[in-house]
Amino acid sequence: MAERRMVDFPSKLQKFDLIVIGSGSGLDVANAAYQHGLRVAIIEKNRMGGTCLNKGCIPSKLLIHSADVAETIKHAHLFGLKVDGFSVDFPAIVERVNGITDSMSDEIRKSLEGMENPKLFAKECKFVEEKIISIRSGDKNRHGDDSETITADKILIASGSRPRIPRIEGLEGSGYITSDEALRLKKQPKVLTIIGGGYIACELAHFFGALGTKINIIQRRDVLIPDEDKEISKKFTEIFSKKYNVYLDYETEFVSNKDGDSDNDRNSKFQVIAKNTSGKSIEVYSDQLLIAAGRIPNSDKLDLEKTGVKINKKGFVITDRYLETNIKGIFALGDAIGRFLFKHSANHEAQYAYYNLLHPDSMIPVSYHAMPHAIFSSPQVAGVGFTEQEIIKEQEKNNNNSGSIIEYQKSVYHYIDTAMGRALQDQDGFVKFLVDKKDKKILGCHIIGSQASILIHEVLVAMKAGANNNCGTIDNITKTIHIHPSLSEVIARAAGENN
């Protein structure tokens, strides 16, 4: 057997019962473990609260509400209201939002400062052994060695993710921004080019576009939000293409900025050259360039190879159904494992992680049944369960393997065919159900239109009720009395189309 190499640690090894890397949903686990009597260390080199609070869902939705109000004003004439116009105080919008999120983050940090349990290490960290972590400021200008070394039998990796930057000639050093910087811009762009066509791109397009910025979207796929149900993606792309300049099937090949050495010069002009699948090239110009091409995990910054923890080809930490890695006692959740890149899924996983960390002999597998999502653009989109293309793919797979074929039926009902839909003048919104023909179980539901993020919850309750018994069928919705006239009637009527 090969002799194990010992690490010469620069400082005394501090021992904890649990180490949590990341202060997003991992913070919930840390607090619960502390209250259970464990000695806990929390490592967070950035602002407290994780991506959602500081650079993700909370600031983006606060900003988007301003865009929603602007759209309401623009459409006031549809309801017999004449509005002479309005002006946008962009710095005030951004200042309000960041004031809220920064104060929330600061409060979390203040609550932990000076405490020995849980103890906060506001520095970057790297693994140096299987369960040994080195912590240091990462400031190259500091004098002396400020590193600390900690260990624990139980470790939770909740290190989150960051924007993925595609390899495009000229992009590096051009002064582009990602969603991180977009949420804190001091000056509103006159023209914004967005590379990417997923939910982040579309939410930010709505925010800036509704406030008056001219929007260019360059999308390599043939529709926007391509992971949604195909009918939802098609309708969403149709609506967005009427409001913004949308270039589909275009791969960005080159980026230039005439003032590319100045990241802070918002007047600099970006040139983006892209080519489509037919070989046609376009040149798009703007005073700001946003990269929204997905996200990648931060696992590459932790030296996980020192632990033996396995990651997949995309860098996500591999865990079993209990959220435990291949190294006993090391768990991971949230964006670090990449099953669902949603804050609500990470919070859901945190409950299981806490229990399984404390009860290694009776762990509970994570249930992802009826995991929903929503896109807070205009129109809103929400979904849960299978998309129709996923069901068709599963049918083809089972047919090739002589397996049982999923027989499904779909139903669609449009907002405008309900009383409240007409009141809202929602001409494009609809609800789509996918239902198992045999037992009427809801396989999926997809919504595009006003308040989709709220309407989906009725479906979630019905589906969740069917996780452990014979309920959860479409009948749970059709047999429920819905208030008339409410927007939720569109859910009831779409469900009723399956009878």
Band of the pLDDT at 131, cuts 50, 70, 90? very high
Residues 274 and 222 in one domain: yes
Q: Work out the average pLDDT over 201-208.
A: 98
Residue with tokens 């790297």: 126
Classify burial at 207, counting beta carbons within 10 Å of its beta carbon; exposed 0-12, middle 13-18, buried 19 or more.
buried
Check residue 140 and give its pLDDT: 53
Same domain, 304 and 449: no
Residues with Cβ within 8 Å of residue 406, at least 6 apart in sequence: 391, 394, 395, 398, 436, 443
Tell me, yes or no, whether 59 lies in a domain. no
Residue range 277-307, pLDDT digits in tens: 899 999 999 999 999 999 999 999 999 999 9
The pLDDT of residue 6: 46
The answer on 311 and 287 residing in a single domain is no
- Same domain? For 131 and 226 the reply is no
How far from 62 is each of 23, 65, 162, CA to CA, in Å?
A: 21, 5, 20
The per-residue pLDDT for 397 is 83
Crossing angle (nearest 10°) for helices 199-210 and 57-74: 40
Of 274, 293, 312, which residue constitutes the final position of a domain?
Answer: 293
pLDDT (tens digit, 9 = 90+) per residue, 319-376?
999 999 999 999 999 999 999 999 999 999 999 999 999 999 999 999 999 999 999 9
**Could you tell me which of 340, 379, 382 has the C-alpha nearest to residue 229?**
382
Same domain, yes or no: 259 and 384: no
Residue 64 domain-assigned (yes or no): no
Most confident of 133-137, 256-260, 335-339, 406-410: 335-339
Question: Which residues are within 8 A (CB) of 476 and not within 5 positions of it... i.e. 6 or more apart?
Answer: 462, 465, 466
d(Cα 412, Cα 108) in Å, to the nearest integer? 45
**What confidence score (pLDDT) does residue 85 get?**
82
The predicted-structure confidence for 457-489, as pLDDT tens digits, reads as follows 999 999 988 655 556 799 999 999 999 999 999
Tell me: do 150 and 256 sit in the same domain. Answer: no
User: Domain for residue 75, yes or no?
Assistant: no
> Can you name the residues that pair with 42 across neighbouring β-strands?
20, 120
Is residue 144 situated within a structural domain? Answer: yes
**Is the distance from CB of 294 to CB of 337 less than 8 angstroms?**
no
Pair (318, 280) in one structural domain: no
Quote the domain boundaries for residue 384: 372-496
Name the band, by pLDDT with cuts 50, 70 and 90, for residue 264: very low
Q: Does 7 reside within a domain?
A: no
Residue 398 banded pLDDT, cuts 50, 70, 90: confident
In terms of residues, how long is the chain? Answer: 499
More confident: 499 or 86: 86
Residues 415 and 465 in one domain: yes
Does one domain contain both 184 and 326?
no
Q: What is the CATH number of the domain that holds 130?
A: 3.50.50.60
Residue 153 maps to a domain: yes
Instruction: With a cut of 70, say whether residue 170 has pLDDT above it.
Output: yes
Statement: residue 7 has pLDDT above 90? no
Domain endpoint, select from 304, 334, 358 = 358
Tokens 């999926």 map to which residue? 444
Instruction: Give alpha helix (H) positions in 78-198.
Output: 90-112, 179-182
Side-chain-side CA neighbours of residue 238 (13 Å): 10
- Distance, in Å, from the CA atom of 202 to the CA atom of 223, rounded to the nearest integer, reads 12
User: The CATH number of the domain where 471 resides is what?
Assistant: 3.30.390.30
Query: What DSSP assignment string belongs to 436-475?
Result: ETTT-BEEEEEEESTTHHHHHHHHHHHHHHTSSSS--BTH
Residues 332 and 392 in one domain: no
DSSP designation for 306: G
pLDDT surpasses 50 at 262: no
pLDDT value of position 147 = 83
Residue 246 lies in a domain: yes
Same domain (yes/no): 17, 146: yes
Nearest to 164 by CA among 153, 178, 154: 178
Q: Are 135 and 10 in contact (CB under 8 A)?
A: no
Q: Are 88 and 188 in contact (CB under 8 A)?
A: yes
* Arithmetic mean of pLDDT over the chain: 92
Task: Name the 3-class secondary structure at 486.
Answer: coil
Annotate 353-378 with b (16+ C-beta within 10 A) or e (fewer): bbbbbbeeeebeebeeebbbbbbbbb
More confident residue, 398 or 318: 318
pTM of structure: 0.92
For range 155-160, the mean pLDDT: 97
**36-64 tens-digit pLDDT:** 999 999 999 999 998 888 888 999 999 99
Q: Are residues 23 and 104 in the same domain?
A: yes
Position 144 confidence tier, pLDDT thresholds 50, 70, 90: low
**So what's the pLDDT on residue 378?**
97
Within a domain: 339: yes
pLDDT at residue 12 greater than cutoff 90: no
Which of 240, 270, 293 is the last residue in one of the domains? 293
Per the structure, the count of domains in the chain is 3
